[in-house]
Structure 1
Amino acid sequence: MVRSFVTEANRVVVKVGSSSLTTAAGGLDADRVEALVAAVAGRAGSLVLVSSGAIAAGLAPLGLTRRPRDLATLQAAASVGQSSLVHCYAGAFGRAGHRVGQVLLTATDVIRRTHYRNARTTLERLLALGVVPIVNENDAVATQEIRFGDNDRLAAIVSHLVSADLLVLLSDVDGVYESNPRLGPASMVREVRSDADLDGLTARGTGAAGVGVGGMATKIDAARMAASGGVTTVVTSAANAAAVLAGEEIGTVFHPTGPRRPSRLLWLAHATAPEGRLHLDEGAVAAVVDRRASLLPAGVTKVEGDFSAGDPVDLVDPRGRPVARGLVEFDSVELPGMLGRSTMDLAAERGPSYEREVVHRDDLVLLLTRR
């Protein structure tokens, strides 16, 4: 039976890992790139390709035999490899009659409101012009993103950024297995409708080529993230790319588990580490959680951590439980003198710039709902 949710998808995000594009020694495998492009080119015009491989592609040209561990060399490899990667894609898609555009993103581009809107506008315009966006993390200048490792979660975010109907995560394994199929007989998990379907899995490690850093664990995390925001996700191998996009019943399907919501909030909930904690009184917890209101300084009782305006922080209830995460509007050194006070009083004393929320409701995602 053909999967109609695949064949009828109006917009598709496909993510491919390093091990599917490169050799174990580093350097791009042109035949693999050509095969991938041949498999996905039929979706050009409605396709966004999130591609790893920049760092791996830069290893051989720099004479490196393995993925470096220091940040400076990682960034150098990414800088050298990214140009090779995009050049290879441009040639392969060009021979299929399509143009490509490079889009390099960092966490800031999908968290902060103005950057988020700019990234979304750029991707939408490229698609409207019939261009295939080739998206990657900006590893040549990023720090946290490289330590973070893989593009799987970035692909989940991009699927929401462009309002995709389908996310396909490609690697060198044809689906999610209950245990590592390379170590012995293992059963594939065909359908995931809730976290209960993943109980007992032991998914971890890099790809077989040894040049990626994601492994199956990050693909499961990314699929869960996408599904929690309403995007159906299929996990399978790059060799199955053409078949899965034709709607064949292969790989592991993660069905939507929640409604669509802005990608920046998904990233905030799933892929950020809080830089501090704001302790709330019961009234503020009720306002934030039950009424989905912004957090005002009057409801904050204590500040923990060292953070700057724009950083993610956890909002905790009087029992110390995180109930929400948000992007704070003030530095940690400013907030202690504002606690328990109204915005009107603060504005009168310190100026109109203080008549604003500590965390705006548009920059806030709930971690706990109350019954």
Structure 2
Amino acid sequence: MSDQQQEFHWRRIVLKVGSALIAPDNNGCSSRYLLGIAEFIIKCRMRGVQVVLVSSGSVAAGAHAFDNSKERSIAVKKAMAAKGQMDMMASWDRLFDFPIAQLLLTQGDLQIHERYHSIRETAFELLNNDVLPVVNENDAVTSDEQKVGDNDNLSAMIAAAVDADCLIICSDVNGLYTDNPNTNPHAELVKRVEKIDQRIFDMAGGPDSAVGTGGMRTKLEAAEKATSNGILTYIVNGLNTASFNQLFEGKNPGTEFVPFKQPLDDRIHWITHTSKAKGEVIVKNDVEDKSDGSQLNFDHTDIVNVVGEFATGDTILVRTEKGKKLAKAASQHSSCMLNLIVRDDIDESAIENDDNENTIIEENSLAILENK
């Protein structure tokens, strides 16, 4: 085996394919770009690399079956997703001589930690039995509240859930550019990103594709999620088969995002990047000054306001009066109880807890948010 081949050493990868590759003309599924992607998946499996496929495109794949002369309501788009999901799975199934399985998820499935672990178990059973999991958001039934919103971020959540080594996001652009290459001929491809900060996000601009729901920003959000979990991430041009050949040669065909050397703890990563905050606790501005960078030191006397409705154990966002986001954590109390506390409508002894000095949030489920 050559040195270049030895660089392709991943044990498990998540491959995200966008709508522009599934249904490039919004006229049903097309194998135009899927053949090269399928060949890459087959080669990975032949080399002993497990693959999880996150496939967008159900709405775009089903659009041709509906009257496009009328404005498309949310209900129509959900119906398109229901029709297109069948077509999309059939298209993938035709390209492989091994079994595939469908996993349709919503944010609600990822939000509850027990269900999150159930997804992990199902995915691992499929992989261990050489079945290719094909994951998509369940657009046909999900509500706005339950949506992840885009499959870029979903792919990063799945990559974390299945303990992937690498996340490959296939797009219709070569990667991250210093500016929009469609409008700026001097824009340069960024080959390697050591740290995703505001400067990197500023390069993203708006959506790059007329077909998908995501743009470069959602891909950067996905890369941020994945790299913080120690997962090497690429954004590559899925329109070009050469991208996959270069990956096999140990070369970088697009933009490479370097993973954290010290990944976040699994539960803290889930709190930070997967679990959506059900509500907010607004605290005094000086709470930030009292925190030590790893803990958030405040009690009920520091709470200024409680926003939203949440139950005990739900994920909440803690932010200051000025709006700075300090942390996400599991709440020790419901929003109803905390509102009573803030209004002094309950005896302080009712919230005392001798076993836990911090009675507002769970210390073992605290994710400090830096520079937010």
Fold similarity call, TM over 0.5: yes
State how far apart, in whole Å, the 2-side matches of 1:262 and 1:158 are.
Answer: 16
Match of 1:99 in 2: 99
Q: Does 1:82 align with 2:89?
A: no
Q: Does 1:49 align with 2:57?
A: no
The answer (yes or no) to whether the contact 1:137–1:145 under 8 Å persists in 2 is no
Higher helix share: 1
Counterparts in 2 of 1:161-240, with a 5 A limit?
161-185=161-185, 186-195=187-196, 198=200, 201-207=203-209, 210-238=210-238, 239-240=240-241
State how far apart, in whole Å, the 1-side matches of 2:162 and 2:287 are.
Answer: 37
- Aligned pair in 2 of structure 1 residues 83, 146: CA closer, same or farther (>3 Å)? farther
1:261 pairs, out of 260, 264, 273, with 264
Amino acid at match of 2:369: L
Match of 2:316 in 1: 313
SS in 2 for 1:104: strand
RMSD (CA atoms): 3.7
Q: Does 1:304 align with 2:303?
A: no
State how far apart, in whole Å, the 1-side matches of 2:36 and 2:264 are.
Answer: 34
Q: Which 10-residue stretch deviates more, 218-227 or 190-199?
A: 190-199
SS in 2 for 1:360: strand
The answer (yes or no) to whether the contact 1:230–1:256 under 8 Å persists in 2 is yes
- Aligned pair in 2 of structure 1 residues 12, 5: CA closer, same or farther (>3 Å)? farther
SS in 2 for 1:333: helix
- Aligned pair in 2 of structure 1 residues 87, 120: CA closer, same or farther (>3 Å)? same
Counterparts in 2 of 1:312-351, with a 5 A limit?
312-316=315-319, 321-338=324-341, 345-346=349-350
State how far apart, in whole Å, the 2-side matches of 1:244 and 1:61 are.
Answer: 37
- TM-superposed deviation, 1:89: 1.3
The answer (yes or no) to whether the contact 1:2–1:249 under 8 Å persists in 2 is no
Unaligned residue ranges in structure 1 (runs of 5+): 350-355
Match of 2:8 in 1: 7
State how far apart, in whole Å, the 1-side matches of 2:58 and 2:228 are.
Answer: 29
- TM-superposed deviation, 1:334: 2.3
State how far apart, in whole Å, the 1-side matches of 2:140 and 2:151 are.
Answer: 14
Q: Structure 2 length normalisation: TM-score?
A: 0.81
- Aligned pair in 2 of structure 1 residues 283, 32: CA closer, same or farther (>3 Å)? closer
Match of 1:134 in 2: 134
- Aligned pair in 2 of structure 1 residues 318, 140: CA closer, same or farther (>3 Å)? closer
State how far apart, in whole Å, the 1-side matches of 2:220 and 2:35 are.
Answer: 27
- Aligned pair in 2 of structure 1 residues 123, 219: CA closer, same or farther (>3 Å)? same
The answer (yes or no) to whether the contact 1:280–1:300 under 8 Å persists in 2 is yes
Amino acid at match of 1:314: L
- TM-superposed deviation, 1:336: 2.5
Match of 2:38 in 1: 37
- Aligned pair in 2 of structure 1 residues 154, 140: CA closer, same or farther (>3 Å)? same
Q: Structure 1 length normalisation: TM-score?
A: 0.82
Q: Which 10-residue stretch deviates more, 259-268 or 336-345?
A: 336-345
Match of 2:150 in 1: 150
- TM-superposed deviation, 1:322: 2.6
- Aligned pair in 2 of structure 1 residues 176, 255: CA closer, same or farther (>3 Å)? same
Q: Which 10-residue stretch deviates more, 253-262 or 140-149?
A: 140-149
- Aligned pair in 2 of structure 1 residues 124, 344: CA closer, same or farther (>3 Å)? farther
SS in 2 for 1:334: helix
The percent identity for this pair of structures is 27
State how far apart, in whole Å, the 1-side matches of 2:288 and 2:259 are.
Answer: 31
Unaligned residue ranges in structure 2 (runs of 5+): none
1:365 pairs, out of 361, 364, 367, with 367
Amino acid at match of 2:335: S
Q: Which 10-residue stretch deviates more, 194-203 or 79-88?
A: 194-203
Amino acid at match of 2:101: G
SS in 1 for 2:86: helix
- TM-superposed deviation, 1:120: 1.0
State how far apart, in whole Å, the 2-side matches of 1:263 and 1:106 are.
Answer: 20
SS in 2 for 1:20: helix
The answer (yes or no) to whether the contact 2:176–2:204 under 8 Å persists in 1 is no
The answer (yes or no) to whether the contact 1:166–1:231 under 8 Å persists in 2 is yes
- Aligned pair in 2 of structure 1 residues 298, 305: CA closer, same or farther (>3 Å)? closer
Amino acid at match of 2:327: A
- TM-superposed deviation, 1:47: 0.4
- TM-superposed deviation, 1:198: 2.7
Amino acid at match of 1:333: C
- Aligned pair in 2 of structure 1 residues 140, 265: CA closer, same or farther (>3 Å)? farther
- Aligned pair in 2 of structure 1 residues 362, 56: CA closer, same or farther (>3 Å)? farther
SS in 2 for 1:235: strand
- TM-superposed deviation, 1:12: 0.5
The answer (yes or no) to whether the contact 1:2–1:248 under 8 Å persists in 2 is no
- TM-superposed deviation, 1:155: 0.7
